[in-house]
Structure 1
Amino acid sequence: MTRYAIPLLGLAWAASCATGEVPSARFANAPAVTRVDDRRDVPDKPSEREFIHSLYHYDGVVQRRLSRALELPRTRRALGVNALDEVPDSTWFTNRIGVRELTPDEVRRGPVQVGSPEAHRPWMIHSTKTGGSEPGFMISDARGKKFLLKLDMAAFPEQLTATHVIVGRLLWACGFNVTEDHVVYFRPDDLVIAADAVGKDVFGDKHPLRRDEVEAVLARVAVEPDGRLRGMASLWLDGKPLGGPPAEGVRDDDPNDRIPHQLRRDLRGAYAIFAWLDHVDVQESNFLDMWVKEGDRHYVKHYLLDFGKALGVMNTTGINPRHGREYVIDFAAIARSLVTAGAMKRPWEGREPSPLRGVGMFEADGFDPGAWKPDSPAYVPFLTADRFDKFWGARIVIRFTREQIRAAVDAGRLSDPRAADYLTDTLIARQRATARYWFARVNPLDRFAAASSETGAILCFDDLALVHQLDDAAATQYRVSTYDNGVQPLGPVTVVRPDAAGHACTGALPLAASSDGYTIVRVETVRPGFDRATFVHIARDAASGAPRLIGIWRP
């Protein structure tokens, strides 16, 4: 379809020119920030945060929820966002997919630094694993590289190990810092107990590790038909561990940590991504700050950890279909059941585990991207997240191609090709549901670009709902109006229509008469049942005089 612009006159123009429609947001005439300087030297190691599981969840489920309600917190837009409504690179997040071309092979490899230990046996056991429900050991391979080895439980073969690696690859591609993880196969005699190896009990108390303890752990895991065992080896991170970051506020002893975590876009917007992946195990112990050294400086780097219970595995291993649909302790759900005497069908009823080896209770049917819940409400960034944060996350999710998703699934080394096909198809179905939901709540225009014209500027953009075939291009149009910095209209409203691929360009737009030509362009997307606007700010580059994008505001 050919793009074109039509002037609108009369009442439509007059109505669109009301100054109340133009938000007060203004932007500096400068390039947007793409990288945050949060790697300044922190010479003294910050303190390690202790995680007490029961207190953390009591606080998140009961005490902090009550105190937050009494505080009457006001809604606040996210921080850590640049003028173009994007998240700059930082020690928390690095823009990858969609910003640069990621090949399927890159997604399959993920954050590989040293490679799998599978070909570097025997492995030396240094201690048993503590924490979590899955068995495992701390090991080093024949190269001396240190790994955490996790093993699948016998009743759920391949589920934890495949899921951890698959989700880790996708989260890395999204932009988060994750560990280097590999699915590995080995035999019991590949494990050698170090002379100083220790066993740890649930209280962290240590004792010399005995061979019968190792055999007791291995007796709990799935065995392949050829006698091999399957595990997930996670490379030990460089630096000194500091525990997880607080869900609210900042680390007081890290001068680079300046944005309260409940206001960070990269943490709040992760809601849409975690919902896509059904990563319900969201708690402080599954985040980790590391005090790392780079050259002659130290700083804190922030990681996500432990994804083995995503993709519905928490439901199967816990034998509980409620995960992802309700909090583990969900007072609202309890109240609804009491009021209705259990007569109302609950959102998790009817869910069944998959018969496929390595697949959890993971499906697209019944998935509601706006109603998804992690296991606990203790993670405050998800409580403060708004539709703009979740739109940001959905934009990342929809960037994955089928080939990239399949590459991540292949990294999980599932033995049944049907399982790999099912996970790929289900991830794509949930991906599209995620984008469709959040693109209906924010004007889904993206990839704006300004170019010179003889009489001003031309603005081009993509409509993500059309690019990804979530809506009808033939039923879509854009009403474009321009204002100067004082919100005075610069000309009539024009109508622009997209091409079949969801791309559109305006005709020549007048720029304001000010020295830098600061102009606000209101782009209103109109289609059946949808009418939302985005405000694009343009000004002339001081060096070249060419118009450039300096800001985007999504109301």
Structure 2
Amino acid sequence: MKSTALGLGLGLGLAISAGCGGGSGVPGARFANAPAVTAVNDRRDVPRAPAPRQLLLDVYHFDAIVKRPVDRALELDPPHRARGVNALDEVPDSTWFTNRIGARELSGDELQTGPITLESPELHKPWTIKSSKPGAGDVGFVVADARGEKFLIKFDAPGYPEQETATHMIVGKILWACGYNVTEDFIVHLRKEDLVLAHDASIVDMFGDKHPLDRAEVDRRLATIEPEPDGRLRALASRWIAGKTLGGHPAEGVRDDDPNDRIPHEQRRDLRGAYSIFAWLDHVDVFESNFLDAWVADRGNPRVHYLKHYLIDFGKSLGVMATTGHDPRRGHAYVIDLGAMAVSLLEAGLVKRSWEGRSAPPLRGVGLFEAQTFDPGRWKPDYQVYAPFLAADRFDKFWGAKIAIRFTREQVHALVETGQLSDPRAVEYVTDTLVARQRATAAYWFARVNPLDHFTAYSDRLCFDDLAIAYDFAKPATTHYEVTRYDRAAHKLGALGARGEAGGRACVALTLDPGGDGYTMLDITTHRPDFTGSTFVHVARDPASGSPRVIGIWRL
């Protein structure tokens, strides 16, 4: 594994250097003749735990609805491409993201296990209630099982059995497979007698203040939960994250108290590119409280500490927010969308909205989740305040779509099964809908960036995958590649053409510049009846072997 010190992660492509494109139309990007960085060292010791961040919801919502839209309208700074990417336009492993399904095959067991490292707490009862679930809202408790392991127990909202518990399980496993850090979660079943009360059990209110929690209050809260046919209560058990929890990361800028946090969050590819994945999953509940930083000890050296960054709380995904909130607009419009309101007034109700007529299927455990009205380019989270999504460009969303499309239908089905939906029809429906939205996501973004990937240089040819053909969004018979070669100084060396190939894997002849290390840029332009797009592939001779290797990719 090629690793790098943290500072290298601040530039585009990690190894990029300025070059002169001249008047040829060749981008100025140039790359070091070195292997691409695959891991960033952002695990340097942070000896003292940073202070937890507090999210003031009123201020947050004011920013979302009023301040940030005005600020963005007045900004003169041009858009910036994402940082935190390597020379091959990929995201290296870090405390934020670990390449999984986007970089290798995952077995069914790996997918269904996900981040889990211990047995379910259902096998270790009774559970001792330490406190209520922090904050107001749904019923939940912080408990310790018979082993002493700490969990947050949450239940489905009354009238919506299985929806949030199943959805959280499914989406958490998918996000883990995509590469994000998530909690260890379990579907569990319990009876009231499985819960015992700690002598100092407390209620934690929305302000963080504690009050005594007694058995009568526990029973009152449990009485609001709809029981299973056998009388047990179904719940989600989320293992408490190790270390000291510090609240969510700021949507913009960095944590000043974390020396490893060097890339402004609105410029991180792994956060910006999550837009495509969240849209696929209809994960609309996107605000700082649904992310969590933790100050953790290094597994190899417990004396070293650093921050690890998690995604949490996915139970409102897959259309559950729309059903429990009685709002079919979710995913189609912001909760308070001043722009949409203005358009609605001007159109006087004459134009049908995309969410009109939407309804959840009559299946236990399934929210208002469908693919017919899904538009991958117009999907919206609940609030327009998460800066990485607002800054995301088509290259970021293409990256996310590449990860999403990697899941086969069989893998999606296996992941849906982890939600333990009791109706087999619900399992099939959610699987079919996820696959339909997955394909819509990839088709959309593969038509907005030249979808060539997995470049490999050989002695006489350069090969690549055309993802649009590989996933059957385009036909090889109507695809043509125009290839123009340039030297480092952007002088044209030659041109040739190639046709699309069945399966999407295509090769073009490769001749390097005879001088120096052979630094050569290939402008590969893809032509289809409804698409034209270019990618510059930078190739040079490996100083050790003398063989050609791909050292950089620059998408246009």
| Equivalent residue number for residue 156 of structure 2 | 152
Per-residue deviation at 1:498? 2.8
1:432 aligns with 2:473: no
Q: Distance in 2 between matches of 1:24 and 1:292?
A: 41
| Equivalent residue number for residue 39 of structure 1 | 43
SS in 1 for 2:41: coil
Which AA in structure 1 matches 2:245?
P
Is the Cα contact below 8 Å between 2:478 and 2:500 reproduced in 1?
Answer: no
SS in 1 for 2:357: coil
User: What are the Cα deviations for residues 91-130 of structure 1, in whole angstroms up to 9, with x where unaligned?
Assistant: 0000000312201111111100223111111111111112
| Equivalent residue number for residue 336 of structure 1 | 343
Q: Following superposition of structure 1 onto structure 2, how do residues 383-532 of structure 1 map, counting pairs within 5 Å?
A: 383-453=390-460, 458-491=461-494, 493-507=495-509, 509-532=510-533
Q: Distance in 1 between matches of 2:412 and 2:110?
A: 11
Q: Distance in 1 between matches of 2:525 and 2:208?
A: 59
Which AA in structure 1 matches 2:413?
R
| Equivalent residue number for residue 4 of structure 2 | none
| Equivalent residue number for residue 55 of structure 1 | 59
Which AA in structure 2 matches 1:313?
V
Q: Which moved more, 1:497-506 or 1:26-35?
A: 497-506
2:241 aligns with one of 230, 237, 242: 237
Which AA in structure 2 matches 1:72?
L
1:260 aligns with 2:264: yes
Q: Distance in 2 between matches of 1:486 and 1:407?
A: 51
Per-residue deviation at 1:154? 2.2
Is the Cα contact below 8 Å between 1:154 and 1:223 reproduced in 2?
Answer: no
Which AA in structure 2 matches 1:476?
T
User: What are the Cα deviations for residues 411-457 of structure 1, in whole angstroms up to 9, with x where unaligned?
Assistant: 1110001001000000000000000000000000011000113xxxx
| Equivalent residue number for residue 197 of structure 1 | 201
Q: Distance in 2 between matches of 1:218 and 1:370?
A: 41
Is the Cα contact below 8 Å between 1:490 and 1:510 reproduced in 2?
Answer: no
1:538 aligns with 2:539: yes
Is the Cα contact below 8 Å between 1:19 and 1:488 reproduced in 2?
Answer: no
Q: Distance in 1 between matches of 2:413 and 2:137?
A: 28
Which AA in structure 2 matches 1:59?
D
SS in 2 for 1:245: coil
Per-residue deviation at 1:18? 9.8
Q: Distance in 1 between matches of 2:23 and 2:513?
A: 16
| Equivalent residue number for residue 382 of structure 2 | 375
| Equivalent residue number for residue 12 of structure 1 | none
- Normalising by structure 1, we get a TM-score of 0.94
Percent identity for Structure 1 against Structure 2 = 63
Q: Which moved more, 1:379-388 or 1:61-70?
A: 61-70
1:175 aligns with 2:179: yes
SS in 2 for 1:26: strand
| Equivalent residue number for residue 17 of structure 2 | none
Q: Following superposition of structure 1 onto structure 2, how do residues 164-313 of structure 1 map, counting pairs within 5 Å?
A: 164-294=168-298, 295=301, 296-313=303-320
Is the Cα contact below 8 Å between 2:135 and 2:204 reproduced in 1?
Answer: no
2:143 aligns with one of 139, 151, 154: 139
SS in 2 for 1:428: helix
Is the Cα contact below 8 Å between 2:102 and 2:402 reproduced in 1?
Answer: no
1:319 aligns with 2:326: yes
User: What are the Cα deviations for residues 467-512 of structure 1, in whole angstroms up to 9, with x where unaligned?
Assistant: 1111111111111121111111212x222123211110112x2211
Which AA in structure 2 matches 1:465?
A
Which AA in structure 2 matches 1:376?
Y
Is the Cα contact below 8 Å between 1:354 and 1:361 reproduced in 2?
Answer: yes
Which AA in structure 2 matches 1:60?
A
Q: Distance in 2 between matches of 1:544 and 1:440?
A: 37
TM-align CA RMSD: 1.3
Which AA in structure 2 matches 1:56?
Y
Which consecutive residues of structure 1, in runs of 5 or more, have no partner in the other structure? 1-16
Per-residue deviation at 1:187? 1.2
- Normalising by structure 2, we get a TM-score of 0.94
Q: Distance in 2 between matches of 1:412 and 1:438?
A: 29
Q: Distance in 1 between matches of 2:53 and 2:457?
A: 47
Q: Distance in 2 between matches of 1:45 and 1:206?
A: 23
1:121 aligns with one of 125, 128, 135: 125
Which AA in structure 1 matches 2:69?
R
1:79 aligns with 2:83: yes
Q: Distance in 1 between matches of 2:24 and 2:58?
A: 50
Is the Cα contact below 8 Å between 1:105 and 1:407 reproduced in 2?
Answer: no
User: What are the Cα deviations for residues 185-206 of structure 1, in whole angstroms up to 9, with x where unaligned?
Assistant: 1111111111221123333332
SS in 1 for 2:458: strand
1:360 aligns with one of 357, 367, 381: 367
SS in 2 for 1:118: helix
Count of equivalent residues: 533
2:107 aligns with one of 103, 108, 133: 103
| Equivalent residue number for residue 550 of structure 2 | 549
Is the Cα contact below 8 Å between 2:135 and 2:205 reproduced in 1?
Answer: no
Is the Cα contact below 8 Å between 2:135 and 2:207 reproduced in 1?
Answer: no
Q: Distance in 1 between matches of 2:350 and 2:135?
A: 39
Per-residue deviation at 1:19? 4.8
Q: Distance in 2 between matches of 1:133 and 1:477?
A: 56
Is the Cα contact below 8 Å between 1:451 and 1:548 reproduced in 2?
Answer: yes
Is the Cα contact below 8 Å between 1:536 and 1:551 reproduced in 2?
Answer: yes
Q: Distance in 1 between matches of 2:486 and 2:208?
A: 65
Which consecutive residues of structure 2, in runs of 5 or more, have no partner in the other structure? 1-20
Per-residue deviation at 1:347? 1.5
Is the Cα contact below 8 Å between 2:136 and 2:206 reproduced in 1?
Answer: no
Q: Which has the higher contact order (CA 8 A, sep 6+)?
A: 1
Which AA in structure 1 matches 2:515?
S
Q: Distance in 2 between matches of 1:18 and 1:438?
A: 30
Q: Distance in 1 between matches of 2:114 and 2:135?
A: 25
Which AA in structure 1 matches 2:264?
P
